[in-house]
Amino acid sequence: MQFFKDSWLLLILGLGLSMASGCEDEQIPWEAEDAPTRLVVEGLLTNEDKKHRIILSRTADYFSNEKTPRVSGARVTVSSGLDTIPFTEQDNQPGVYVSPKIAGQVEKTYTLDIHLNQPLNQKTHYQATETMIRGLVLDTINAFIYENPLYVEESPMDSLLLYLTLLGPEPKDIGNYYAVRLFRNGQAVHDTIDEVDIYSDSEEFEGDYVNNLFFFSDFLPGDTLAIEVSTVSKNFRRYMNGLQNIVNQSGNPFDLSGPPANATGNIDGGLGYFRVSFVTRTWTVVKDQRQGKAPG
């Protein structure tokens, strides 16, 4: 995941998006003069029956040559009312806390509790709460490659257009947001913070069962394409927009005009985000339609 080294730049999905869970560690520094040391939380709980992770670190100075320091020795739990899930720190991965195999449940609200054994900025207890929103359930997907009608020689965009048809029921009574990740032959594509795509079911996901997406991407006919679609909250979408504004606001890392104040996570007293998502996945083989006209 992406590491941020001050009180405004944070780690996050993955997701992620992990989007949340599969990204490479990547440090993006920002200097905030005299900023107090704060806890940074990177967490994701899904409906998948697996071990889930919470990563704890702390902010550091811009000119530090070390990786963002991890926070060890904490007591970390996630609860949903009657059930409390312990997250155990890994012996070989300081600051990484892992649950037993468990699947989150749709429409349940989960609370993350963190108790530090040493205070950070005079604080030892941190909390975050989020609800798992029901969403699209993928039945199948079709993927086709077309010639990009907008492509011209020496253009920075790709000459091929990837057209996806997603088939599966999508609830229309909620107003969902979705984080979408693509995998080419097992490898995630467009997986950095500034490339994360979040879609709305009132715009891109308009259909009750059939939805179409376009990508200017480097897939080729015969590639295995896997897709992961995760529900995200409106608050998480705002958080990601804030992070992307920070990442993209200046190409010069020393242009430190002051940290934006719009990358607000859900960690009470800390930084970062504890995300709870309903995840659906499927895969297909990309087919060649370059002699045909892309659907409009």
Q: Where are the domains of the chain?
A: 2-133+246-279, 140-232+280-288
Q: Given 1.10.760, 3.30.160, 2.60.40, 3.30.1560, which CATH number is that of 140-232+280-288?
A: 2.60.40
- Residue 66 makes CB contacts below 8 A (sequence gap 6+) with 60
Q: Is 246 helix (H, G, I), strand (E, B) or coil?
A: helix
pLDDT in tens, 195-239: 788 998 888 888 889 999 988 877 999 999 999 999 999 999 999
Residue scoring higher pLDDT (183 or 152): 183
Specify the amino acid at residue 167: L
CA gap 290, 159 in Å, rounded: 11
Q: Are strands 287-288 and 75-79 parallel, antiparallel or unpaired?
A: unpaired
Q: For residues 277 and 136, is the Cβ–Cβ distance under 8 A?
A: no
Max Cα separation, the chain? 65
**Does residue 155 register a pLDDT over 60?**
yes
**Does residue 296 register a pLDDT over 60?**
no
**pLDDT reported for residue 141:** 97
Mean pLDDT of 281-296: 80
Nearest C-alpha neighbor of 279 from the set 111, 77, 103, 101:
103
**pLDDT reported for residue 274:** 98
CA gap 171, 151 in Å, rounded: 36
**pLDDT reported for residue 72:** 97
- Helix or strand (DSSP H, E) at 237: helix 234-248
**pLDDT reported for residue 33:** 52
**pLDDT reported for residue 147:** 84
**Does residue 149 register a pLDDT over 90?**
no
- Helix or strand (DSSP H, E) at 280: strand 279-285
Cα–Cα distances in angstroms (integers) from residue 153 to residues 147, 149, 150, in the given order: 13, 12, 10
154-157 contacts, C-beta under 8 A, 24 or more apart: 157/216
Specify the amino acid at residue 221: P
- Triad 44, 50, 56: Cα angle to 5°: 35
Phi, psi of 58 (to 5 degrees): -135, 155
Q: For residues 104 and 132, is the Cβ–Cβ distance under 8 A?
A: yes
pLDDT in tens, 27-76: 444 444 557 888 999 999 999 999 999 999 998 765 555 677 999 999 99
pLDDT in tens, 93-123: 999 999 999 999 999 999 999 999 999 989 9
Reported confidence tier of residue 156, pLDDT bands at 50, 70, 90: low
Report how far Cα 105 is from the mean position of its chain's Cα atoms: 19
CA gap 227, 141 in Å, rounded: 9
Report how far Cα 49 is from the mean position of its chain's Cα atoms: 19
pLDDT in tens, 182-206: 999 999 987 777 778 899 888 888 8
